[in-house]
Each structure stands twice: as C-alpha cells, then as structure tokens.
C-alpha cells in the first residue's frame, strides 16, 4: 500500500510547506482552494492525516481547538499563544528517555512517548496587551 502520487497530494504537501507557521487543516484548505477551487475539504483532511501518519509531516494536537500541522517532521516541542492561538516551535533539548523511564516506574505503564507543550503569549500579543493597558488606563 504505497501512497499514490496524486495531484492533490502534491498540492497539499506544497501548500503546507509554503505556509508560514503551523497552519490548521482548515487554513491549508483555504490556501489550497485559492488556487485549486475544486479540491475538497475532506481531501485536505485525509491527505494531511496520511502525510502525518507516514511521518512526512508533524501534527500538533491542540487541547482546545483545531490541530496544527508542521512541515518539519522531526520531534520538537511547541508553544501555543493563549490570545491568538498561533503555534510556534520551541527549540529546547528534548527531555529524553529519562522522563519516560521515570514515568513508567511511577505509573506501571509501558511508556511509548510523551508530549510537552507550552502555553503562553506570543510576542505580537504581548505588544497588543501593552497597548490595551495604555488605552484602558
């Protein structure tokens, strides 16, 4: 079952790589649709799912709200802005197997992996907050 090289797959993969930062499936869909109006939303969702299942791209699952996709497939952490919802990379060293082993010992589970995700306020929204305060005060 090797994946077929369909036109749509190439377009979607391409759009993801062209889009700046961790778009949602819907954002990819909108971008794709701008140039290829006939592509369906389900195709975008399915293709992004396949690409991430194959390890071609990354999927950042967001607590509340839509998943974001990452054209970089290697393992790294992410932050999400509480104000605007944008997602960015956090390039800090990975925690490594040590935490997984500690978690296994503490829980009795066989640990397969972990997710570390940060919540915060992005630079742009920090600026916006300052302006809000200034105009409110």
Partner DNA sequence: CTTTTTGCAAACCCTTTGCAAGACA
Partner DNA sequence: TGTCTTGCAAAGGGTTTGCAAAAAG
- Interface of this chain with DNA, residues 47 to 86, rule: CB under 7 A: 47, 49-50, 65-67
Four-point Cα dihedral 61, 15, 42, 52, nearest 10: -40
- Binding partner of residue 33 among its own copies, DNA, none, CB under 5 to 8 Å per kind? none
Residue 6 burial (C-beta neighbours within 10 Å; 0-12, 13-18, 19+): exposed
CA geometry: angle 13, 82, 136, nearest 5 deg: 135
Query: Closest distance between DNA and the C-beta of residue 104, in Å?
Result: 26
Among 13, 14, 45, 88, binds DNA (CB under 7 A): 45
28 binds DNA (CB under 7 A): no
103 token code pair: 């978690």
Residues touching DNA, count (CB under 7 A): 25
Query: Three-class SS of residue 78?
Result: strand
> 41 or 49, CB closer to its own copies?
49
Interacting residue ranges for DNA, rule: CB under 7 A: 1, 3-9, 24-26, 38-43, 45-47, 49-50, 65-67
């Amino acid at each position: 079952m090797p994946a077929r090289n369909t036109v749509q797959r190439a377009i979607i993969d391409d759009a993801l790589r062209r889009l700046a930062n961790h778009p949602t499936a819907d954002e990819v869909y909108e971008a794709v649709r701008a140039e290829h109006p006939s592509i369906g939303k389900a195709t975008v969702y399915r293709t992004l799912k396949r690409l991430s299942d194959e390890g071609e791209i990354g999927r950042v699952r967001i607590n509340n709200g839509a998943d974001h996709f990452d054209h970089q497939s290697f393992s790294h952490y992410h932050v999400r802005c509480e104000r605007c919802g944008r997602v960015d990379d956090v390039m800090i060293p990975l925690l490594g197997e040590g935490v997984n082993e500690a978690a296994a010992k503490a829980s009795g589970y066989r640990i397969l992996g972990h997710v570390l995700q940060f919540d915060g306020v992005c630079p742009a929204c920090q600026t916006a907050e300052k302006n809000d305060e200034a105009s409110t005060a």
